[in-house]
A and B are shown apart, each in its own frame.
Chain A
Amino acid sequence: MTTANILGPESPAQTRQPVLQARNLVKTYGRVVGLDGVSLELYPGEVLAIIGDNGAGKSTLVKCLTGAEVPDQGEILLDGQTVRFRRPQDAHEAGIETVYQSLAVSPALDVASNLYLGRERRKAGILGSVFRMMDKKGMRKEAEEGLRNLGISTLQDVTVPVENLSGGQRQAVAVARAAAFGSKVVVLDEPTAALGVRESNQVLQLVRTLRERGIPVILISHNMPHVFEVADRIHIQRLGKCAGTITPQSHTMTEAVAIMTGARKVDEKGA
């Protein structure tokens, strides 16, 4: 079986339009080639993992997709439309939400405030328009609702400052924020890197919930068991190129690592 079968005619993915598509992205830093013509498709309701060794172009690829870097060549399409991201804000506004490894939460603010950070809602009427008052109550209520919808049960009280939360709970806040605002794509950068077993499971569960709700997820991770647990497809980066796209069914973890390190090619089977 080769990769061609994965997206064969029987696959529904083929018939659907990718939500996010990258074509032949090239990015160089001086003489160092970060990306050497990488293409990628993300279909509705799938979890696409991106794996690769250090320096394989994983983060460069993600940075191009989320607007943190501007590719030298190639194009990015969102819902079939060509988009150009010059800064993270552009990607953000287009509906690509990124959860960074650093989480980008404000420790002193409470959960609800963090969920609405940078897009606070104002009260109706002149209190909002003239006095610019925030609708704290409304934001709290919707924050609770959003967390419940995502099945995040570990955050009962949205008025707790984020600094009082555990690593997994903080991650949940960051993911919830990415998912809460009608986003088209959620990008998770190493979401389980700093977490324990139980907390990792909660985050992986959250990824599944996002998929069930039809939000496609790009997951960057070093952790093979986690990748194989939740990913539908796995994009393997190697030396600035895509070494192949596999699925957890078509290949084993050992094979994936072998492709990642160049020990074998995607369509070689067995060993």
Chain B
Amino acid sequence: MSHQTTEASPPAAQPDLAVEFLDRRTPVDRARQALHKYPALSPGIVIILAIIVFGLLNPRFFYANNLSLVSQQVAVVGTLAIAQTLVILTAGIDLSVGAIMVLASMVMAQLASHNGVPAPIALLLGLVVALAAGALNGILVTRLKLPPFIVTLGTLSIFIALTLLYSNSASVTGQDIPGLITGTGNTFKIGGVNFTYGVVMMLLLYIVMAFILNSTAWGRHVYTVGDDKEAARLSGIRVNRVLMSVYVAAGAIIAVGSWIQIGRADAASPNAGTDINLDTITAVVIGGTSLFGGRGNIWGSLLGALIVGVFRNGLALAGLDVLYQTLAVGVLIIVAVSVDQWIRKVRK
């Protein structure tokens, strides 16, 4: 009977509280709350503004050839950014994505050209190597409990060295590689714009990964592990298993990136793209995914990769030196992380 009275009081008090809370919100607060809820919103706004500005600066920006070029430039970074997003969502970081990509691409190209392995098998073996590389990162992170930064900094050097040892520091040119492997660079036309199959593969990967992250329990666990590891463990989530699967999945995605890279360059070079890891981190961060884990959206990373591509391309078309492109990307990163910090201050 005494419960009745206590039970009745909270609902009466609650609306007042809500009204008070609503009244205190300024438009800035509202904007911040919206950005907090939809992490891909701010990169979305940036890309639209960038496209408008660069289009006004130089109408050639909208030419079919140029749009095709931007999409191709983005394909490899965009693909690896998917792997990077997965790792960063768990509050980790993967410095070895570029090195794994180069290693797997050399395996694919060299097996198919020098060793006469059929193209599909060569691709498959490249995938196996990338999976093993991802698994190595995963084991070191989960078993030896080393910070992902240190683990992947180490494996970055290891994979680069393995690549150079395996390939004798020699590139494989496109005409020596079977058409299936270089085919990711082939184009088809949509509305006058040439798209490569590599771009399509990247988009498909985004669609699949967006579904997995948003709609499956595994996706939710990836976020939770990055958000609060201890809470995840106490909720019965096997944290190490999730982390391990993330690094292995990253390996698989990187293997697709290797395939796209061979098509894009029409060659496999042991020296190209080892520093692409920084570009993928840039794309993920600009895309609104928090480096502290647990927060972000996979589509943001695609937007992030596009923003970098559009900035570089647009600034080049505007006649600015390449150094200014690099400068602009640096500013973008700082701004993106500042915005992330600001957004996180919601109701603290």
Contacts and interface: CB of A to CB of B under 8 A. Distances in A.
Interface of A: 88-89, 92, 98, 100, 102-109, 113, 117-120, 122, 131-134, 136, 151, 153-154, 156, 163-164, 198, 201-202, 205, 208-209
Contacts of A153: 7, 10-11, 14
Given A156-B14, A208-B3, A109 B234 contact: no
B7 A106 contact: no
B215 A107 contact: no
Interface string B215-254: 1111011011001101110111100000000000000000
A92 B236 contact: yes
Given A109-B227, A117-B224, A104 B215 contact: no
Given A151-B7, A205-B6, A118 B216 contact: no
Contact of A102 (B6, B211, B230): B230
A151 B11 CA distance: 11
B7 A205 contact: yes
A201 B216 CA distance: 37
Given A164-B347, A201-B6, A205-B3, A133 B215 contact: yes
A143 B55 CA distance: 49
A62 B227 CA distance: 27
A49 B317 CA distance: 73
Nearest to B219: A134
Nearest to A68: B234
B294 interface: yes
Given A109-B223, A164-B347, A205-B3, A122 B217 contact: yes
A164 B227 CA distance: 15
A122 B346 CA distance: 32
B215 A134 contact: yes
A103 B232 CA distance: 11
25 contacts: A102-B230, A102-B231, A104-B228, A104-B231, A104-B234, A106-B228, A107-B294, A108-B294, A108-B295, A109-B224, A109-B227, A117-B231, A117-B237, A118-B236, A118-B237, A119-B236, A132-B216, A132-B217, A132-B218, A133-B216, A134-B215, A151-B7, A153-B7, A153-B11, A154-B10
Nearest to A122: B217
Contacts of B295: 108
A102 B232 CA distance: 12
Which residue among A98, A104, A118, A208 has the maximum number of chain B CB atoms within 10 Å of its CB? A118
B152 to A, nearest CB: 24
Contacts, number: 86
Interface of B: 3, 6-7, 10-11, 13-14, 211, 215-218, 220-221, 223-224, 227-228, 230-232, 234-237, 294-295, 346-347
Q: Which of B7, B220, B232 has the most CB of A within 10 A?
A: B220
Nearest to A114: B235
B293 to A, nearest CB: 9
Given A100-B234, A122-B217, A106 B10 contact: no
Contacts of B221: 118
Contacts of B218: 132
A105 B215 CA distance: 20
B78 to A, nearest CB: 24
B236 A107 contact: no
Given A107-B294, A133-B216, 8 more contacts: A104-B231, A108-B294, A113-B220, A119-B236, A120-B217, A131-B215, A134-B216, A134-B220
Contacts of A117: 220, 224, 231-232, 235-237
A201 B347 CA distance: 24
A105 B231 contact: yes
A108 B14 contact: no
A120 B230 CA distance: 18
A109 B214 CA distance: 12
A118 B319 CA distance: 54
Nearest to B12: A153
The 8 lowest CB-CB distance pairs between A and B, nearest first, are: A104-B234, A118-B236, A120-B217, A118-B235, A104-B231, A117-B235, A106-B224, A132-B216
Contacts of A103: 231
Contacts of B215: 131-134, 136
A252 to B, nearest CB: 21
B6 A89 contact: no
A229 B290 CA distance: 44
A53 B289 CA distance: 45
A106 B294 contact: yes
